[in-house]
Structures are given as structure tokens and as C-alpha cells.
């Protein structure tokens, strides 16, 4: 942060249609995170940004501010990955990225899965994990140990971004997507440098990747899918997807056609989710080997994540290679069918139960 924010001045500039520099946006969001902004000012600020259209520099400044206030994990493996969507696509699908996290952990890929409770869907990552016996834990040292020992940590956003509470009431009252919807996936508390990010609006794919590149990320895919019912923040069998990637210091654009997976078109309604109980039941069945559209969708996204993790390259000559993609899908399927993904869930349950028992004994 370059200087203490004169938030009223920055608000006037945004209301007049001016685009903030990265430094000014960082100052503005730092003031928000510090609780120095009145609710009416914050509502006006977010609304003005939304109506004008938020800029890439404003996103970068906001991310820098939020990262400064977050609680980070210590001792994170260098190759740790996050798989996370922005949410907000309104499709209400089953929990895909959460399932992918178990699949990757089953392959020995360290995953720091950042998530939250439901905002635009009926069951967010934290909601479904709670039903699976993996409640949110406010203990960075424990989460770090789980990441190193069991290749999996679930990072509940409220525990790592306490300063977000200052914006929460206004965000809820506004009832529409704001720049804050993009910030969570870009502010992983494990400070990962590898990410597969689903984005609710295709126009944000490149700014998201460029922001992460400027902040030290090395491997990123930002994905926006098309479906028979609108845009999606993950790969599906309901339509193609636009991808902006960061690899080897180069930003590239690609198109994902689900036909390369050797599977037929499947409407998005086939992976429609329900409440947290229903989604947990579906995820449990998936880990037990049940086949169907949910499994297929998880395999698609896991194949992409394996690539981003550096464990199976699928990009040749600037495009996705069909055979390499199917090879990664086969790796993901093996994680499920050999029981490794299910074991990742069981280990998470056991670790949390042990921690809870220990804490109860100390109280």
C-alpha cells in the first residue's frame, strides 16, 4: 500500500467513470479490509465499478490488498495446487472442484482447496465437506501438516480472510456479483503458484491470469465453459470452453472441445445439484466408483488439473492434445477406482476427528 487511502476521493473518481490505477485500487480495498469504509460508501463504490465495468488494474490492486490481510499457511510444498471456481454461474451443479481435490490427493498431488459456503448455489465446498465429516478448521499449522502428510487441505475462506467481514453485509445487501466474487480464488491462503480456476464470465479469464502472473504464479488455467443453459465456471460435457493459460512465462488462449474426451454431449441438468446433503451423497457415491455424468465431469476437470500440476502435459503446439487429455482422465479414473480418492477423504475425516479429540482433552 503506497499511502493511506482517501476513500471519498477514490469513490468520486470511480463514480465519475475514471479507472483506478493498481496502487489506488490497492489503497481503496485496503481501507475496505481495515473496516474504514462506511457501508453506504462501499455500496456506492462497488456499484459504480460494476456499472462502469471493473478494470484489470483494479483487480490486481484489490488482490494485493486482500492478500495482505489474509492468514497464510506455513511450510507449503512448492508444487501445491488449488482447484477453485468463482461461483456465480447460477447453474447449481454438484460440487465438482471439491471432488477433483480428492481425486488429485489420491494421486499424491498436494491440493490446498480454497472454498466457502454457498453463495450462488445451494451447496458450497464448505457445506458439502461438513456433511462428509470434514468441517472447517481454524488451524493453519494443522492444515499445513495435512497438506504435507495427506496431500490435501481444505481452507475455509472466513478463517483465512477475517477482514472480508467488513464487506460481507454490503455484498449480501447488493445481491449482484461484484469484484469481490473474483478475489477469493486469487487469494489462496497457501499462496499457491499453480491454479485451475473456473471463471463465471469469459471476459475475466485473461485479467485473472495476468494478475496471477504479475504476483508470481507459474502455472494457471482460467476456464469459462458454455452450456445449454449459459456460462459455466468449469469444464463440462454440455459445451466447449475458453481457456487462458499461463505456462513457461507465456500466456496462451485455447478452446476445449469435450469431444476430445471421447464422450457424448450431456446437458448441464445431468449434474444439477441439490442441498448439501444431496451433494454429499452424490460425492460419496462418486468416490465409491459410481459412473455417470458427475464422474465424467470430474474426470474432465481432473485431467486439466493434472496438467496444471505438472504431472501430465496435455498441450502440444498451443492446443489440447486429445490422447494426452484422455491419458490424464485415465489417471484420474484410477485414483477413484483403486480407492485412493476415497482414502483421501477418510484420512481427512480421521485427522479432524483426532484433532477434535485432542482439543477436547485440553479444554
362 burial (CB, 10 Å; 0-12 / 13-18 / 19+) is exposed
Residues making up the annotated binding site for anthranilate are 85, 116, 171
Residue ranges at the known binding site: 85, 88-89, 93, 95-98, 113-121, 125, 171, 233-234
**Residues comprising the binding site for Mg(2+)?**
97, 233-234
Spatial separation of the C-alpha atoms in residues 182 and 201, rounded to whole Å: 10
**CA distances (Å), origin 200, targets 136, 208, 330, 350, 357:** 25, 12, 28, 35, 40
Other beta carbons within 10 Å of 253: 12
d(CA 306, CA 219): 11
H/E element, 182: helix 180-186
What is the biggest distance separating any 2 CA atoms in the chain, rounded to whole angstroms?
Answer: 59
Query: Which residues are known binding-site members for 5-phospho-alpha-D-ribose 1-diphosphate?
Result: 85, 88-89, 93, 95-98, 113-121, 125
Check: CB of residue 355 under 8 Å from CB of residue 142. yes
Total number of residues shown for the chain:
363
- Chain centroid to CA 33: 21
Question: 140 — phi, psi (to 5°)?
Answer: -55, -35
Amino acid at each position: 500500500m503506497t499511502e493511506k487511502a482517501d476513500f471519498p476521493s477514490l469513490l468520486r473518481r470511480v463514480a465519475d467513470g475514471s479507472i483506478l490505477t493498481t496502487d489506488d485500487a490497492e489503497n481503496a480495498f485496503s481501507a475496505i479490509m481495515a473496516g474504514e469504509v462506511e457501508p453506504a460508501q462501499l455500496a456506492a463504490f462497488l456499484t459504480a465499478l460494476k456499472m462502469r465495468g471493473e478494470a484489470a488494474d483494479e483487480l490486481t490492486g484489490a488482490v494485493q490488498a486482500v492478500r495482505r490481510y489474509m492468514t497464510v499457511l506455513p511450510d507449503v510444498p512448492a508444487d501445491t495446487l488449488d482447484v477453485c471456481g468463482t461461483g456465480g454461474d447460477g447453474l447449481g451443479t454438484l460440487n465438482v472442484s471439491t471432488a477433483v481435490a480428492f481425486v488429485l490427493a489420491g494421486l499424491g498431488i498436494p491440493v490446498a482447496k480454497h472454498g466457502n459456503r454457498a453463495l450462488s448455489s445451494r451447496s458450497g465446498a464448505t457445506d458439502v465437506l461438513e456433511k462428509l465429516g470434514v468441517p472447517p478448521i481454524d488451524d493453519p499449522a494443522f492444515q499445513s501438516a495435512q497438506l504435507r502428510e495427506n496431500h490435501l487441505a481444505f481452507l475455509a475462506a472466513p478463517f483465512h480472510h477475517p477482514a472480508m467481514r467488513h464487506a460481507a453485509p454490503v455484498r449480501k445487501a447488493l445481491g449482484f456479483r461484484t469484484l469481490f466474487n473474483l478475489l477469493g480464488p486469487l487469494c489462496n491462503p497457501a499462496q499457491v503458484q499453480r491454479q485451475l480456476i473456473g471463471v463465471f464470465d469469459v471476459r475475466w479469464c485473461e485479467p485473472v491470469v495476468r494478475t496471477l502472473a504479475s504476483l508470481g504464479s507459474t502455472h494457471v488455467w482460467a476456464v469459462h465453459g458454455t452450456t445449454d443453459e449459459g456460462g459455466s465456471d468449469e469444464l463440462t460435457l454440455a459445451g466447449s470452453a475458453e481457456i487462458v493459460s499461463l505456462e513457461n512465462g507465456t500466456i496462451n488462449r485455447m478452446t476445449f472441445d469435450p469431444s476430445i474426451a471421447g464422450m457424448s454431449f450431456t446437458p448441464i441438468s445431468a449434474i444439477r445439484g441439490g442441498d448439501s446433503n444431496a451433494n454429499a451423497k452424490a460425492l460419496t457415491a462418486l468416490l465409491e466408483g459410481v459412473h455417470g455424468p458427475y464422474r465424467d465431469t470430474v474426470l474432465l476437470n481432473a485431467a486439466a488439473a493434472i496438467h496444471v500440476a505438472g504431472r501430465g502435459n496435455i498441450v502440444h503446439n498451443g492446443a489440447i492434445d486429445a490422447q494426452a487429455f484422455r491419458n490424464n482422465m485415465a489417471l484420474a479414473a484410477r485414483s477413484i477406482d483403486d480407492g485412493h480418492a476415497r482414502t483421501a477423504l477418510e484420512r481427512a475425516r480421521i485427522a479432524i476427528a483426532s484433532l477434535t479429540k485432542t482439543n477436547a482433552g485440553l479444554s
